[in-house]
Structure formats: structure tokens, C-alpha cells
Amino acid sequence: MRAQPIPREEDTVVQSRTPRQGGAADELRRILQRIDGRGYPAYREIRGAYAFPGYRLEVDYVQPDPFAPPSQVIVTVPRNVAGFPPELLRTPVRATALEDFITRRFYALSSRARAGSRGTGGSGLVSIDRPPQEVLRRTSVTMGAEGVEARFVVGLPARGRTVLGRQAEELFFREIPAVVDGALRYANLDAAAVRRQVETVEDAECIRDALEGRGLVAFVADGAILPRVSGVDDRPLAEGTVVPFCSPPGLRAEFETPNRGRVTGMGIPAGVVLVVGGGYHGKSTLLAAVEKGIYNHIPGDGRELVVTDTGAVKIRAEDGRGIENVDISPFISNLPFGKDTSSFSTQDASGSTSQAANILEALETGARVLLIDEDTSATNFMIRDGRMQRLVAKKKEPITPFIDKVGQLGRDLGVSTLLVMGGSGDYFDVADTVIAMEEYLPRDVTAEAKQIARDRAAAREREGGDRFGPVKARRPLPRSVDPSRGKRAASVSAKGPATILFGAHAIDLSCVGGIADISQTRAIGDALVYLRERYLDGKRTLAEALALLKRDLDEKGMDILSPYRRGDYALPRMFEVAAALNRLRTLRCV
């Protein structure tokens, strides 16, 4: 039942038939001089590899015109020339931190190099993928057996559609060498800054590895800066009075790190953890920081040592989304007109059904921690108090609220929940730990909350049975994952971090947490095609197919996702790959 490979739109881009292999740099210069003043397609002649002093430069892809996406160039600096000390590459985590550092440096130098435009469209551009605050594995810069490889883009200079050969010479023989030299050779980097980044990332990773053994799902270091500049600017808030994080004594945890010794902070325990507090006291900010703690951060971010179990998934209401064959019966049953909720499908989910599906889908793919904020939850999904229970009989209310299920999640499935809920004290009954945020500082109020729960029993009755209920494993059908557009070739692209254009369909990821970078979104889109072609066969479960995808990515790297050597991928989690598939409205599962 395996689907045929689908031809890709990029395959039709015309390239020179035989890219040249291993020419001297002078040869590139001669070609540029020769094609000066000719039509833009003459640039195709430069495709190929050239030996520059100290590195190899490959023109991998040549754009068809100055307004098209820029050309791709790959530079490899041999190990001995690049000169990175082996200890910076001792572990994969260190290597990723170093590669990220080099990418940032390359980006900074190349944007500085491009003082003025040198012609039409993207003429004169030199650029590389730009990392966010998170340090992710990416394809822009990699340390391989041969040396350091950087993949970046270049806008080949033109006036109108006429080749500007002299400007191109400047670009290849003056500007690119300066950027390559400045970014890919250890001697030209700020050694202390490199070490700081590698060590920071290593320390965070080390704490993350230790969380589970300590019975924690997250750790927020003392001194961490959680608030961000704005909803669209992820850098640390610096204006006004920023309150650095300080752990409450009852929840204080200590970790021994390899590089900065002992670190203290708040350990968020496994189980049901409730975050309460007045409006505007920093509850959502704490949860958002924990949400991003699945990734490591650059030094200076403020969240360097905010570290979360990589199995944490943000759950929210998402009305309007499509749902395909999800068993939402643990939360929802008795829908009007007897609609079956053990195999629930809709093209237009309600707030509560979407939140239920988001939970079941996360559990299906192995989530260990659910992160939920009242701000983005459906009220009727979260709570149903005693008075409402009395007025609306259970027979007429399809929803078993989360409050009756959250304890079972832990007991039956070993799944923890971190929940921001300032609006309902009914949750005191089911919480293992209660943290109050007061003027941006946490206080452990577990004992107080438990006392209140004893003094004032909630007038509500438990609903929804004694067990959590089934988590169905679905088997996606490959034909329902089709990136082609009618008879035309497959086309998949990221249009912003939250949208994948998948053939004729748009996948909306705006309610999906866990994506830090558009380069992850790109990789997710292509991973769906990879899954369709390799692993979805109507027999494998989604979780099995994702495990195979993850194995391939770990063993072979992200280059498996494309026939081209892309420099603009960043590694996503399998949760987000699943989230994209689940939001593809053509998806069908058995």
C-alpha cells in the first residue's frame, strides 16, 4: 500500500546539465568576466565547485532571475583550517551549540557585509538561516568529518536581467571570503563567547536529563528572566522593573551542572501542579517559559536554565480545527443526535471538542506532560461546578470536565499536568502542588489550598468514571496525505512559522506550541511527505511511523527530508510533526 513518490516542483527547475567538479577559484572569476553583460540565465554556467584558498565553495543552485529565491552556495572549511578545539565537539549537544553559534556569527557578518544593494531584486544578498532565541539542530552550519560546512544563499547581481559580472566577482572574491573567514574559523571567533554558549547549552541539557530521576517535569532557575519584550519579540524584557525569578523554599531544587557548578531554582514536580494568583501577576508568563523550556536557549536570553521535560505539550482550545477519527470519549460522550465520540471527526470543532482532541492526540504520540493555561482553554471543558451540575443533568451534558480527568491522567497513564487556573478553586481538590504567583514571584501555597479544600468542600460531584479511558492509536492512510495540486507536482512550503502550504491545502499551526522557528515548520512540511512515502501504509500507527521518522532523522540527519541540500531546516519534535498531520484537513485514519 506504500504510496508512489511524488515528483517535486523544484525538480522542474532548469539547471546546467553537468555541474563542474573541483575547478580552481580562478575559473569562477573567468566565467564571471565572460558572462558580464549577458542575460541572467548565463549565470547557470557558474554552477559547480571551486577551490578557494582555505575552503571549497560550491554553487549548488542558481536562481533563474534576480527576483527568484536566491541561489544556494555551500562552503566547506577543512578541519585543520577551521581549527575548532575538539572539546567543543565532544558531544552532539556541544556540537549543536557550536554550529548554532557559527550560524549566528555568519548571519551577523553577512548582514553587515550587505551595505547597499548592488542591482535588481535580491542582487548582492548574502544570507544564512537566522536562528531564534532557541538553540536547535539545523542544517545551516554543520561540523562533519570533512570540516565545517555552511549553506547560505546569495543573490547573483544583475541590472534588470543583465548579469553584473564585476559585482559578482566582488561578492565571490571579497565579501563571501570575509564572511567565511570571520565565521567559520575558530581563530576569528570570540573564544569566550563560544565557550559560554557551548557550556550554557550543555548545563541546560544536563539538568533536563536529570529531571525525571528527580521526580520533576520542569526546573526554573533562580535569577531567570521570564517575560519577553512583546508577543512578537521573543527577546528578554529589559524595560521597566523586571522581577528575576526566585524559587519558594518548599519547591527549591538543586542541580549540579558540569560548567557552572551548583544551580538552584524551583522544581516543578510531576503530578498535578496548579498555578494560581491574581490577574497580571505572571502566571501565563511562567507557563510560556516552561513551554519553551523543551529547547535550550542562548546565553543572555534569561531562560537559559528554564528547562522542561521534552515530552511536554501545550494544550489549548482551538475551535474551527478539523479532527479526524479521534476517540474523545474520555472527555465527551452523548453528543446530540447520538454522534459517536469514540471515532470523532469534524471539519469544525468546538472549543471543548478541539481541546479534548488536542489532549488525546498528544497522548497518542507519547506526551508525558500537559501544559494548560486558562487563558486559552474552553471554560466548559475545564470546569463544571456543583450548581451547574444540579441544573443541567449529566445526561444532557456531553462533557466530562478536565477536573475529573486530570488525576486519572497521572494514575492511569503517568502523565503530569501543569495548569494555570486562577478562576476555579475546585481544582484544589485534585492538585498535588499549588503555586501562587504574586507580583511575579512564586509561593508554595499547597498546604493552604488543601486546608481551604477541607474547610469548604466543593459542592460538585465527581463525573466520568474511575478510569481515564481509551487512547486510540490511529493508522493514517497515505493517500489522504497528498501534497500534489491536481496534476501538478508536489509542492510543500512554510509560509511563516505557523502555516504550511501542503499542495492545495494550508495547514494552520497557529495554535500549536512547540514550534520555535519557521525552519522547523519547513522541516515538518517535508517530513509529512517523507512519512507518506516511507512509513504511512494504513497499517502502521501514527506513533510507529513517527518513531521511524525520528530514528531516520537521528541517524541520517535532516537531509533525508529533501532531494536538495537545504540550509534552512531546523529539527522539530515529533509532537509537532503529528500536530501538522492532524491539522491537514484531508487526513483520513483507520
Interface residues with Mg ion (CB under 5 A) are 283-284, 375
Q: Which C-beta is closer to ligand ADP: that of 185 or that of 281?
A: 281
SS3 488: strand
> Taking CB within 5 to 8 Å according to partner kind, which of Mg ion, ligand ADP, none is near residue 40?
none
Distance CA 8, CA 566 (A): 14
Q: Are 584 and 556 in contact (CB under 8 A)?
A: no
- Cα angle at 380 between 375 and 382, to 5 degrees? 60
For residue 583 the three cell numbers come to 491539522
Residue 226, interface with ligand ADP (CB under 6 A)? yes
Q: Which C-beta is closer to ligand ADP: that of 165 or that of 277?
A: 277
Nearest approach in angstroms of CB 352 to ligand ADP is 22
Q: Which C-beta is closer to Mg ion: that of 283 or that of 384?
A: 283
Binding mask 418-437 for ligand ADP (x = CB under 6 A): -------------------x
Buried b (16+ CB within 10 A) or exposed e, 77-100: bebebbbbeeebeeeebbbbbbbb
- CA distance from start to end of the chain: 14
Q: Which C-beta is closer to Mg ion: that of 133 or that of 284?
A: 284
Nearest one of 510, 529, 470, 522 to 321, comparing CA atoms: 510
Distance CA 437, CA 279 (A): 9
Nearest approach in angstroms of CB 236 to ligand ADP is 10
Q: CB within 8 A of 103, min separation 6: which ones? A: 128, 129, 130, 131, 138, 140, 141, 150
Nearest approach in angstroms of CB 272 to Mg ion is 19
Give just the sign of the alpha carbon dihedral 413, 418, 422, 427: positive
For residue 237 the three cell numbers come to 524584557
> Taking CB within 5 to 8 Å according to partner kind, which of Mg ion, ligand ADP, none is near residue 281?
ligand ADP
> Taking CB within 5 to 8 Å according to partner kind, which of Mg ion, ligand ADP, none is near residue 47?
none
Distance CA 203, CA 110 (A): 30
Residue 279, interface with ligand ADP (CB under 6 A)? yes
Stretch of 55-63, 281-289, 424-432, 514-522 lying at the interface with ligand ADP (CB under 6 A): 281-289
Give the pairing of strands 433-438 and 162-163. Answer: unpaired
Nearest approach in angstroms of CB 216 to Mg ion is 23
Stretch of 31-39, 211-219, 235-243, 544-552 lying at the interface with ligand ADP (CB under 6 A): 235-243
Q: Could you say which of 94, 137, 281, 303 contacts ligand ADP (CB under 6 A)?
A: 281
Distance CA 408, CA 431 (A): 12
> Taking CB within 5 to 8 Å according to partner kind, which of ligand ADP, Mg ion, none is near residue 190?
none
Q: Give the phi and the psi of residue 59 in degrees, each rounded to 5.
A: -90, 105
Distance CA 62, CA 153 (A): 10
Can you give the three-state secondary structure of 386-432, one letter per residue? HHHHHHCCHHHCCECCHHHCHHHHHHHHCCEEEEECCCCHHHHHCCC
Say how many residues make up the chain.
590
Residue 236, interface with ligand ADP (CB under 6 A)? no
Q: Are 136 and 516 in contact (CB under 8 A)?
A: yes
Q: Could you say which of 167, 197, 257, 284 contacts ligand ADP (CB under 6 A)?
A: 284
Q: Which C-beta is closer to ligand ADP: that of 281 or that of 472?
A: 281
Q: Which C-beta is closer to ligand ADP: that of 406 or that of 420?
A: 420
Stretch of 210-218, 278-286, 337-345, 445-453 lying at the interface with ligand ADP (CB under 6 A): 278-286
Nearest one of 295, 327, 299, 287 to 474, comparing CA atoms: 327
Residue 562, interface with ligand ADP (CB under 6 A)? no
> Taking CB within 5 to 8 Å according to partner kind, which of ligand ADP, Mg ion, none is near residue 398?
none
Q: Which C-beta is closer to ligand ADP: that of 243 or that of 590?
A: 243
Residue 105, interface with ligand ADP (CB under 6 A)? no
> Taking CB within 5 to 8 Å according to partner kind, which of ligand ADP, Mg ion, none is near residue 497?
none
> Taking CB within 5 to 8 Å according to partner kind, which of ligand ADP, Mg ion, none is near residue 279?
ligand ADP
> Taking CB within 5 to 8 Å according to partner kind, which of Mg ion, ligand ADP, none is near residue 285?
ligand ADP
Q: Which C-beta is closer to Mg ion: that of 39 or that of 278?
A: 278
Binding mask 238-277 for ligand ADP (x = CB under 6 A): ----xx---------------------------------x
Alpha-helix residue ranges (DSSP H) falling in 311-400: 351-364, 379-382, 386-391
> Taking CB within 5 to 8 Å according to partner kind, which of ligand ADP, Mg ion, none is near residue 227?
ligand ADP
Q: Which C-beta is closer to Mg ion: that of 317 or that of 577?
A: 317
Within 13 Å, how many C-alpha atoms sit on residue 57's CB side?
Answer: 29
Nearest approach in angstroms of CB 278 to ligand ADP is 7
Q: Could you say which of 70, 177, 282, 330 contacts ligand ADP (CB under 6 A)?
A: 282
Q: Could you say which of 24, 215, 280, 448 contacts ligand ADP (CB under 6 A)?
A: 280
Stretch of 19-27, 115-123, 125-133, 279-287 lying at the interface with ligand ADP (CB under 6 A): 279-287
Q: Could you say which of 84, 440, 468, 530 contacts ligand ADP (CB under 6 A)?
A: 440
Q: Which C-beta is closer to ligand ADP: that of 19 or that of 423?
A: 423
Nearest approach in angstroms of CB 575 to ligand ADP is 24
Q: What is the DSSP code (8-state) at residue 245?
A: -
Q: What is the DSSP code (8-state) at residue 460?
A: P
Q: Are 49 and 58 in contact (CB under 8 A)?
A: yes
Q: Are 384 and 399 in contact (CB under 8 A)?
A: yes
Q: Which C-beta is closer to Mg ion: that of 73 or that of 276?
A: 276
> Taking CB within 5 to 8 Å according to partner kind, which of ligand ADP, Mg ion, none is near residue 152?
none
Q: What is the DSSP code (8-state) at residue 490?
A: B
Q: What burial class does residue 206 get, using C-beta atoms within 10 Å of its C-beta: 0-12 exposed, 13-18 middle, 19+ buried?
A: middle
Contacting residues toward ligand ADP, per CB under 6 A:
226-227, 237, 242-243, 277, 279-285, 437, 440
